[in-house]
């Protein structure tokens, strides 16, 4: 099958470091579905994996086929599969140990797959799994957002932020988002009650410091400032790090790696403790059950995908460059196989 892969880490600054290559078709386990991929989306995670950002705790064997979410058609099922049949249209974020959606085929465990939302095209559906699952795990699973709570979403027009804004609003929260002035209309249309222009306003000075939840997708100083707008007991969840001890335990990391992660997040956790708030790092996980919950919201019109641009499969390298250079105006970049 045709794929796009990396052969070594740390190729940032030397093109994308990704090339087209033929690879054997996937092996299909008893609990797997073999999916003919119709579309996949590009995520910042793909670029971070390429650069080796997670190689300490995600030791992939190289060469590695990139790609973290997909939409497609089931073409074979394993002997123990009960949820899906050949011909089903599905979407998924494969488990972190089984990524590789920049390819013609992929084998995915049935527990990580859901039927594609009936109201979406393949390209639209492919834009959702990773960011929608992240939004769910931040707001529902980690923060337990309730009606009336205040949620701040950074980069509200981005691939992740655009979905978090919609889900937070669906959960009944008062939603504030940061975005450039040119994207204010889009973010308000997605459900934001207030939009802060990050280019001309400092959210720390213009917002009340009474937020229950902040989603940080930028890291660094943005995370440090985000802790300051939380009310006592509030929670800042970052999807870009630094990783914390809870994540190390979840990962089953060895003692040395646990110590390293604790050291990396020490400054953020210390600041949070001094302010009387909480800090948490989230590395999202695959879940077909959660995707089914999200599918219902999509088909009910409560969440809609935002797609910036679609590239053909043979232009996967160009799609990665487009994302890496920050050319996407809003939402996700998608690759289609047709």
pLDDT in tens, 61-120: 999 999 999 999 999 999 999 999 999 999 999 999 999 999 999 999 999 999 999 999
Reported as a pLDDT band with limits 50, 70 and 90, residue 244 is: confident
pLDDT in tens, 286-328: 999 999 999 999 999 999 999 999 999 999 999 999 999 999 9
Domains of the chain: 2-128+305-336 (3.90.180.10), 130-281 (3.40.50.720)
For the record, the structure tokens of 307 come out as: 């797609």
**Following CA atoms 72, 9, 285, 74 in sequence, which dihedral angle do they give, to the nearest 10 degrees?**
20
- CA distance between the termini of the chain: 15
Strand ranges inside 70-161, DSSP E: 70-77, 89-92, 105-109, 113-115, 150-153
pLDDT in tens, 166-177: 999 999 999 999
- What are the phi and psi torsion angles at 210 (to 5°)? -135, 30
Question: Is it the case that residue 228 has pLDDT exceeding 90?
Answer: yes
Rg of the Cα trace of the chain? 19
Q: Which residues of 210-233 are buried (b: 16+ CB within 10 A; e: fewer)?
A: ebbbbbbbbbeebbbbbbbbbeee
Strand ranges inside the chain, DSSP E: 2-6, 19-22, 32-42, 64-65, 70-77, 89-92, 105-109, 113-115, 150-153, 174-179, 194-197, 211-216, 230-238, 278-281, 307-312, 332-336
Distance of alpha carbon 124 from alpha carbon 194, whole angstroms? 26
Reported as a pLDDT band with limits 50, 70 and 90, residue 12 is: low
Query: What is the pLDDT, as a whole number, of residue 138?
Result: 98
* Beta pairing partners, 279: 236
Reported as a pLDDT band with limits 50, 70 and 90, residue 11 is: low
Mean pLDDT, residues 326-333: 93
Question: Is it the case that residue 14 has pLDDT exceeding 50?
Answer: no
Taking each helix axis from N to C end, the angle separating 161-170 and 129-136, rounded to the nearest 10 degrees, works out to: 40
């Amino acid at each position: 099958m045709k794929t796009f892969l990396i052969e070594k880490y740390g190729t940032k600054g030397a093109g994308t470091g990704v090339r087209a290559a033929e690879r054997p078709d996937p092996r299909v386990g008893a609990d797997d579905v073999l999916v003919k991929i119709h579309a996949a989306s590009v995520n910042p995670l793909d670029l971070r994996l390429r650069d080796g950002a997670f190689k300490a705790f995600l030791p992939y064997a190289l060469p590695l086929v990139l790609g973290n979410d997909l939409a497609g058609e089931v073409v074979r099922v394993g002997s123990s599969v009960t949820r899906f049949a050949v011909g089903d249209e599905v979407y998924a974020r494969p488990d972190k140990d089984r990524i590789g959606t920049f390819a013609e085929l992929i084998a995915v465990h049935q527990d990580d797959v859901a039927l594609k939302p009936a109201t979406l095209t393949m390209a639209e559906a492919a834009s959702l799994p990773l960011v929608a699952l992240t939004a769910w795990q931040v707001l529902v699973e980690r923060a337990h957002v309730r009606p009336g709570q205040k949620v701040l979403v950074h980069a509200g027009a981005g691939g992740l932020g655009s979905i978090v804004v919609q889900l937070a609003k669906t959960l009944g929260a008062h939603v504030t988002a940061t975005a450039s002035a040119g994207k204010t209309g889009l973010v308000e249309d997605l459900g934001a009650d207030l939009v802060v222009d990050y280019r001309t306003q400092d959210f720390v000075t213009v917002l009340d410091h009474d937020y229950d939840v902040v989603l940080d997708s930028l890291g660094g100083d943005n995370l440090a400032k985000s802790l300051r707008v939380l009310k006592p007991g509030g929670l800042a969840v970052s999807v870009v790090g630094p990783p914390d001890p809870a994540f190390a335990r979840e990962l089953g990391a060895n003692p040395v790696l646990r110590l390293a992660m604790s050291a990396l997040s020490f400054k953020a956790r210390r600041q949070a403790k001094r302010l009387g708030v909480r800090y948490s790092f989230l590395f999202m996980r695959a879940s077909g059950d959660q995707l089914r919950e999200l599918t219902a919201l999509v088909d009910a019109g409560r969440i809609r995908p935002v797609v910036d641009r679609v590239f053909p499969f043979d232009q996967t390298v160009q799609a990665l460059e487009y994302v890496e250079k920050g050319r996407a105006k809003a939402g996700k970049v998608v690759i289609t196989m047709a």
